[in-house]
């Protein structure tokens, strides 16, 4: 009996014509039947935003041979919602992969990332989901060193599945000297943000967000450490944001209202 290939949804936040998504498509074509739904323009930093105040467009495009592809006017999360509801018609794909993002999504970046939010939406739909990111913002970034690791990780997910409510955040160091894969925790790090204030020709103030990434976590089991030491970081992520450890403390408070 012929083995049925898994149906794989590919999404991203850099736009449907980004080199990173092309690299991811090439790997996924080796593993299953690929459907792509991606934004028609870059959507970095959109987080889990969805479109509710205007209509969404969804147009079929032909960019790569043998791949069913659609571009959407919406956010990365919109793309997953449209894929599940309009393209797969509720017959959910076997896997959702997002990326490969141009730039890291380690540590706190997972909160802001459109790449990871698309993968989170896949997990919310009970689809095994993975987000992939590379430490290189350049348009002509070399994604080739990532490919064998992506294939190995995806094969394991297809073989073993993921627990409901869990997805993977995978980040790659830049260059060819990748030592291997480390399963990590998310580092305790944040952005020390500043705003560059400027004046436009109409004498009105405007602002550019800037800042520096500050790592306050020096553990050797974090994603930041792994990447700094040329390992691929794999962090299991969950979308249940309940601080379970705080429930007992809150239950000891006096909430009685006279």
Residues above pLDDT 70, as percent of the chain: 99
For the chain, give every domain's residue range.
7-186+220-251
Can you give the pLDDT at residue 1?
A: 56
The pLDDT of residue 2 is 60
Residue-wise pLDDT for 185-244, tens only, equals 999 888 777 889 999 999 999 998 888 888 888 889 999 999 999 999 999 999 999 999
For 105-152, how does the pLDDT look when each residue is reduced to its tens digit (9 = 90+)?
999 999 999 999 999 999 999 999 999 999 999 999 999 999 999 999
pLDDT of residue 258: 77
Query: How many Cα atoms within 13 Å fall on the side-chain side of residue 226?
Result: 22
Q: How confident is the model at residue 59 (pLDDT cuts 50, 70, 90)?
A: very high
Mean pLDDT of 165-183: 96
Single pTM value for the model = 0.93
CATH number of 7-186+220-251: 3.40.1210.10
């Amino acid at each position: 009996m012929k083995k049925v290939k898994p149906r794989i949804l590919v999404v991203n936040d850099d736009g449907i014509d980004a080199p990173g998504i092309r690299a991811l498509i090439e790997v996924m074509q080796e593993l299953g039947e690929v459907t792509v739904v991606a934004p028609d323009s870059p959507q970095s930093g959109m987080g889990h935003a969805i479109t509710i105040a205007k209509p969404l467009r969804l147009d079929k495009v032909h960019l790569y041979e043998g791949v069913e592809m659609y571009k959407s006017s919406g956010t990365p999360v919109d793309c997953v919602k449209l894929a599940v509801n309009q393209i797969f018609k509720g017959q959910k794909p076997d896997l959702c992969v997002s990326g490969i993002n141009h730039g890291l999504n380690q540590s706190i970046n997972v909160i802001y990332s459109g790449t990871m939010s698309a993968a989170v939406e896949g997990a919310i739909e009970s689809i095994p989901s993975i987000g992939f990111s590379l430490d290189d913002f350049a348009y002509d970034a070399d994604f080739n060193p990532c490919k064998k690791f992506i294939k190995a990780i995806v094969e394991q997910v297809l073989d073993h599945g993921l627990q409901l409510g869990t997805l993977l955040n995978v980040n790659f160091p830049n260059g060819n000297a990748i030592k291997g894969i480390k399963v990590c925790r998310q580092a305790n790090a944040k952005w020390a943000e500043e705003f560059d204030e400027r004046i436009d020709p109409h004498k009105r103030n405007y602002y550019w967000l800037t800042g520096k990434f500050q790592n306050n976590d020096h553990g050797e089991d974090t994603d930041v450490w792994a990447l700094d030491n040329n390992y691929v970081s794999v962090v299991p992520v969950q979308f249940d944001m309940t601080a379970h450890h705080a429930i007992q403390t809150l239950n000891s408070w006096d909430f009685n209202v006279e």
